[in-house]
Chains A and B, each alone.
Chain A
Amino acid sequence: MRAVCWHGKHDVRVDEVADPQIVSKGDVIVKVALTCICGSDLHLYNGYVPTMKKGDILGHEFVGEVVEAGSGVTRFHVGDRVIVPFPISCGVCWYCKHELWSLCDNSNPNSWMLEHLYGDTGGGIFGYSHMYGGFSGGQAEYVRVPFADVGLEKIPDGIPYEQVVLLTDICPTGYQAADNCNINPGDTVAVWGCGPVGLMAMMSARHLGAERVIGIDRFPDRLQMAHSQCQAEVLNYEEVDVAEALQNMTGGRGPDSCIDAVGLEAVGTGIEGIYDSVKQTLRLENDRASALRQLTKACRKGGTLSIVGVYSGFIDKFPMGAIFAKGLTLHAGQAHVHKYLPHLLKLVQEQQLNPSSIITHRLPLEEAPRGYKTFLNKQDACIKIVLNPQAQGAAATPGSEQASAG
C-alpha cells in the first residue's frame, strides 16, 4: 500500500509499504477514506520528536471502512464506516474505566520511555513516534486498529466522511478544552491560537453557553475565521498588549477561562541533553511560555486555565505565584476522545456542529509532502488539510468510493 512516511526533518515521502494485517484478535483493518495533517504532525515534521524512525507511517486523524476484523471483534463488521479516535485505549484498565481514555495504562508498549522524565505517561497514539507506542499511522491506504471494539464509532448513514474526520482529534480536543472550563452563563472564554483546535474550542465554548468568546492569534486569515465561524471577538497579539486588552474588554475582571490552544513547537524533549534539537526546543519553549504567562496574567481570579496545546518538556519562569495568588485552576492533557465522540457525533447529525467548515485544503495522499510544506508555512490561508488515499488523481477514483463517502 501507499503511506506517508517520515524520513527526517522536513522530509516526508509517499512510500510503498507492506499492507497491515490482523495481529491481535481485537484488531480491525481500516481502509482509510480521509486522513488529516494535524498541527502536532508538524512537531514530527520539524524533527523535534527524538523517537521517530525512518519509515514510520504518520497520521493520527483518519476515518474509513472496516475491511477485515479479528476473531475477537464483536461490534464491527466488514463494510462498517468508522471514526477512529487518535488515542488508543484498552477499555479495561482503571483509567479507561474512569473515562480517562487517553491515559490508558495498557495501550502504549513503550510507556517506559517517558517514565523516567514524567513518572508515568499516557497511552498509545497512532503515527506519533515510538514513545507513544510506535503504532503505524493513518496517512496510508490501510491501518491496523487495535482494541477496535473499544475505540471505534460507527458513522451513521448519510453523513459524509468529511463531516466526521475532525471528530478523531480536533473536535474532541477543542471540546474538552471548553468542557474543562466549567462554563457558566455570562462567562467570557479567551482562546490563544486560532488554528483548528482553537476554532473548535471556541465553537464548543459557545455551545456550552459562553456569553463571549475571544480569539487570539497573529494570522489575519485565522482571526477572520474565528470571527466568521465562531462569532468570536478577535485580538492580534502582534498589535496589542493582550493581557491589557482583555482586561479592558471585560470590565477589568479578565476572562473567566483561558484556553491555550497554541501548542509547543516541540514534542519529546524527554531526552534532554542528547540531541541538538533539544536546545532549539528549549528556546522555543521559553518563547511559548510567554503565551502561558499571558494566560495566567489575563485570567480572572478564581478562573480556569485549560491547556490543550501540546507541552512536553520544561518551562522557564512558570508563573506559579500568579496561579497561587489568583487561585486559578489548571486543566491539561490529551483529549479523552472516546468520552466525547457520541455527543459530538450527535451534534454533527443534528447539524449543530459543522466541523468541515474549517477544512481549507483537500489533496490526494500523493501530495502529502506538498501539504506538509504548505501547512508548516501557513501558506495559502491553510488551516486544515485533508488527504484522500483513495484518490489517485480524480479520474481514477472508483464511483463506489464516492457513494460510500456521500
Chain B
Amino acid sequence: MDPSETERSQSREWRRETRVNVGPAERKASVIGGAALAVSGLRCISKRNYASGLAMMLAGGMFLYRGQTGHCGIYDAMGVDTVHTHNSALTIEKAVTIGLPPNEVYEFWRNLENLPRFMRHLESVQVTGARTSHWKAVGPGGISAEWDAEMMEDVPGQQISWHSVGEADVPNKGSVEFREAPGYRGTEVKVTIDYYPPGGGAGRAAAKLAQGINSQQLEEDLKRLKQILEVGEETTARRTVQ
C-alpha cells in the first residue's frame, strides 16, 4: 500500500463519526420515513407493544439520525456510501447453524415456495419456470412490493443464488450458502441479500427497509427456519388457537 493510500484510509478512520455518507435526496427521505417510524415505534411502546415498538424505534431512530446528520451507522458498517455511488447496494448478511445435514437444508430452501413460511415479509413466492419465480412482499400499513426473480447458481447441497429481473419495486439479489458445521453441529447457513434502493434512496426504500427487510428481520427469519427444520414447526407462545 502506498503512503498516500495509508494516509487516506487513516483519515477516513478518524473522520468516520462525522463524515457525510448519505446523499441529499435520501437524507430528506430518511427524515420523513425515519420520523414516522420512530413516532409509531414510540406509540407502540406506550401501548406496551414492545416487540414491534422497539424494532421500529431502532430502525426509525437510525434513519432520523442519518437524515439530520448525513451520517448513517448502518451504511458505515456496511461500507455503503450513497454520496459517491448511486448504485451501491444495502447488504444484509446473517448466518445460522441448523442441526441437519446440508443437503436437507438445501432441499427445503431450493423449494422456493417454502420461503414465506419463515420469511415474515414475504407473502408468497411462486415458481414460474425452471429457474424463474415471482415474489410478493408486504409490510405493515399495506405497503407491498413484487418482483420476478431468476436463479443464477444452484449447486445442490451447497449454494443457491438469485436476483430480481425486470421492473422490480426494490431490485435485489441474494445468495444462500450451506456448509457442513464442525463437530456434527449440522449446517452453517449463510444468507446474503443486496437491496438497491430506487434512485439511490427514496422514502419508500427507507420505509421498506425499516419494515421488514432489515437485518433484524433476516435474523428472525433464520431462527424461524431453524425451528421449522429442527422442531418441525415455528415456536409459538400463543395460549389459544386464533
Contacts and interface: CB of A to CB of B under 8 A. Distances in A.
A130 B99 CA distance: 26
B226 A106 contact: yes
A23 B240 contact: yes
B237 interface: yes
A111 B223 CA distance: 9
Given A21-B239, A105-B226, A94 B219 contact: no
B185 interface: yes
A19 B226 CA distance: 30
Contact of B99 (A93, A271, A274): A93
20 contacts: A19-B240, A20-B240, A23-B240, A23-B241, A24-B233, A53-B48, A57-B239, A93-B99, A94-B97, A94-B99, A106-B226, A106-B227, A106-B230, A110-B51, A111-B223, A112-B223, A124-B235, A135-B237, A146-B235, A274-B45
B220 interface: yes
Interface string B135-161: 000000000000000000000000000
A23 B231 contact: no
A269 interface: no
Nearest to A50: B50
Contact of A90 (B51, B231, B237): B231
A107 B235 contact: yes
Interface residues of A, number: 37
Contacts of B230: 90, 92-93, 105-106
Contacts of B220: 112
A54 interface: yes
Contact of A109 (B99, B185, B235): B235
Interface string B30-62: 000000000000000100111100100000000
B48 A94 contact: no
Interface string A7-22: 0000000000011111
B99 A92 contact: yes
Contacts of A222: none
A374 interface: no
A72 to B, nearest CB: 8
Contacts of B10: none
B237 A109 contact: yes
Contacts of A53: 48-50
Contact of A115 (B45, B48, B51, B219): B219
Contacts of A135: 237
Contacts, number: 78
Interface in B198-234: 216, 219-220, 223, 226-227, 230-231, 233-234
Interface string B157-185: 00000000000000000000000000001
Nearest to A8: B48
A134 B234 CA distance: 14
Interface of B: 45, 48-51, 54, 97, 99, 185-186, 216, 219-220, 223, 226-227, 230-231, 233-241
Interface in A94-147: 94, 105-113, 115, 124, 130, 133-136, 144, 146
B239 A20 contact: yes
A54 B50 CA distance: 11
A52 B97 CA distance: 30
A124 B234 CA distance: 13
Interface string A65-107: 0000000000000000000000000101110000000000111
A105 B235 CA distance: 11
Contacts of A18: 239-240
Contacts of A109: 234-237
B52 to A, nearest CB: 11
A46 interface: no
B240 A94 contact: no
Contacts of B233: 24
B216 A21 contact: no
